Amino acid sequence: MSYQLDIFTTAQAEIRSLPGYVRAQAQQAIAALAHDPRPPAAKELCDKPGICRLWLAGRWRIAYAVDDDQQVVTILRVRRKEQIDCESLPDDTDA
């Protein structure tokens, strides 16, 4: 079962600004989320139920939400670890 991918405009800009090797890894990881939205390496954030994070090379990570009812994976942020915290993530993933 395949999920639709929705990437926030801010996340699209963040992906474009990544170093080349991290950008390629991010694009592959995001594409894979359409087929497996909860890979073993993904962890749900404690302070934001329903929002997961996935590590990339170095200290980069992807923050995303999964809507199983609508079968949509929404990419919220692609940033360095220290730049992703609960305050930087939207409360409403429909934005």
Please report the pLDDT score of residue 26 as a whole number: 96
> What are the strands, taking DSSP E only, across 2-50?
4-7, 43-44
Tell me what the pLDDT averaged over the chain comes to: 88
Alpha-carbon gap, residue 53 to 48, rounded angstroms? 11
Average pLDDT of the residues in 13-41: 96
Domains of the chain in sequence order: 4-82 (3.30.2310.20)
Determine which helix (DSSP H) or strand (DSSP E) holds 74, and give its type and residue range: strand 72-80
Q: Is the pLDDT score of 44 beyond 60?
A: yes
Read off the pTM.
Answer: 0.84
Please report the pLDDT score of residue 95 as a whole number: 46
pLDDT-derived band at 54 (thresholds 50, 70, 90) equals: very high
Alpha-carbon gap, residue 35 to 95, rounded angstroms? 23
